[in-house]
Structure 1
Amino acid sequence: MDLVHSGAVEPHRGRLLSASSGESLERWIVRTFGHTPADIAPFERALTHGSQAAANYERLEFLGDRVLGLTMAEWLFTLFPNEPEGALSKRLNALVTGAVCADVARGLGVADHLKLGKQARDDGAAGSDNVLGDVMEALIGALYLDGGMEVARAAIRSGWGERVKTQGSAPQHPKSALQEWAAAHNRRTPAYDVVDRSGPHHAPRFTVKASIGTLAEATAEGSSKQEAETAAAAALLAKLG
């Protein structure tokens, strides 16, 4: 699908503008997703952080997360017809992480259209994986509400692109790999403990310790508890050799 729209879209009074380019939100949506919004309000809400207004992206994020999961599952089911459920699940889990969603958002220029409170902007929320990942899911929710499943599916397939095909085999999630190592070596199930949490609410940093009994342990940081646990599991696997 070609996401470049050649037709002119007239800017509307009061509609969100990018601080850096002056491009209207509607024009950006048309150019980026190939969809002309029937109602701009869901997209404005999808780009609004909680520091800016109570009517923020959180509900749309909830919806978009489910739309993304279904679309990705359907896509992987078609692309890898000979893979079992477990392998497909590993692929899906690797493709819908907050970090991947944030990376897609950066590629689409989402940060230029975020509505943030001054403190959140000063604290770097526009570059936060947590914020950008959540907003990307919220935009998917807005596309689904405004244009239906076909529009949302096309946007996801375009945004994720070659990421879906570049993995030669289904990736093993570090936490799953660590659990399998422990079972194979008759060791305790890995434990994960949050040892520190810092940073503002919209851009937290978690430090997590992963351990297998008294055998070995490793710590790592992440912008979410899940991300930190994954990094700690990978660090512990590397230590175990």
Structure 2
Amino acid sequence: MPKRRTTDLGQLCNRLGHSFAKSARLKLALTHASARADSKPNEDNERLEFLGDRVLGLAVAELLTERFPNASEGELARWLNHLVRTETCAQVAQSWSLGEYILMSGGEAGSGGRRKTTILANTCEAVLGAIFADAGYEAARDVVIRDWAPHLEDLEVAAPDAKSVLQEWAQGKKLPLPLYLEVGREGPDHAPRFTAEVRVEGLAPEQGQGDNKRQAEQAAALAMLLREGVWSATADD
């Protein structure tokens, strides 16, 4: 049976700084795919997550261009990737205590779903999508500006992510953009292990593994950068 901890959504709204005109939007944003009926594919938060991802990207881009007027396009792109990545979204979700409110199956909850980085991050984006649907871009942007701004302090020490570095390197060499493929998945559904392969025309492919697709792709990109001598083996991850 689907389970949600007994919590007051009003407390969550206070943390978000947004009172929903239609509370059903927030409830949908908090509904993990494991909790919906198979016959009702739209009664989970995946569509709102898709919307929230785009809202987050735009709001973070706006935040960065305002705070760093002299930054290059490459710097802004790397910083944006850092701020919208799964780990940062999960940290914001934790600051909202979002895991307590997610409706999910008993099996998912029992396997630690409320603490899973990917579930927290996806639900965080879904909540932003719900705020956008409920009150428009400015309301969602205000939440992003407030709750993502503290993470600007991490940008000066954050290393460029491997996928961004590989893309810039390939472009500098006049090569096509890297292509990422999922070539393997093993382990149980609640703790899968992914293998990704990156291909760049004219170069031998490389593979990497991770707990999700993004981590696997990053590992594959890093392996290629190390092999090509672009990224030092002693560089920060």
Fold conserved between structures, TM > 0.5: yes
Please give the residue correspondences for 1:149-188 in structure 2 after superposition, counting only pairs within 5 Å. 149-168=137-156, 171-178=159-166
How big is the shift at 1:156?
Answer: 1.2
Which residue number corresponds to residue 62 of structure 1? 50
Which residue number corresponds to residue 148 of structure 1? 136
The root-mean-square deviation of aligned C-alpha atoms, in Å, is: 3.1
**Within the alignment, does 1:100 sit opposite 2:88 as a pair?**
yes
Give the share of equivalent positions with the same residue, in percent: 36
Within 1, Cα distance between the matches of 2:186 and 2:153?
A: 36
How big is the shift at 1:222?
Answer: 3.1
**Within the alignment, does 1:39 sit opposite 2:28 as a pair?**
no
Within 2, Cα distance between the matches of 1:136 and 1:185?
A: 37
Which residue number corresponds to residue 24 of structure 1? 8
Taking structure 2 as the reference length, the TM-score comes to: 0.77
Deviation per residue, 1:109-142 (Å, 9 max, x gap): 1111110112222333222222211110000011
How big is the shift at 1:207?
Answer: 1.9
4+ residue runs over 3 A deviation: 178-195, 199-204, 209-214, 235-241
User: Which structure 1 residue ranges, 5 or more long, are not aligned?
Assistant: 1-16
Within 1, Cα distance between the matches of 2:168 and 2:63?
A: 28
How big is the shift at 1:50?
Answer: 1.2
Taking structure 1 as the reference length, the TM-score comes to: 0.76
Deviation per residue, 1:56-100 (Å, 9 max, x gap): 101111111111111111111101101222321221122111222
How big is the shift at 1:170?
Answer: 7.8
**Relative contact order higher in (CA < 8 Å, ≥ 6 apart):** 2
Within 2, Cα distance between the matches of 1:94 and 1:201?
A: 27
Greater mean alpha carbon deviation, residues 54-63 or residues 41-50: 54-63
Structure with max Cα Rg: 1
Deviation per residue, 1:35-61 (Å, 9 max, x gap): 222221111110101111141101111
**Matched position secondary structure for 2:69:** coil
Q: How many residues align?
A: 220
Within 1, Cα distance between the matches of 2:44 and 2:59?
A: 24
Instruction: Determine if contact 2:29/2:45 at 8 Å carries over to the other structure.
Output: yes
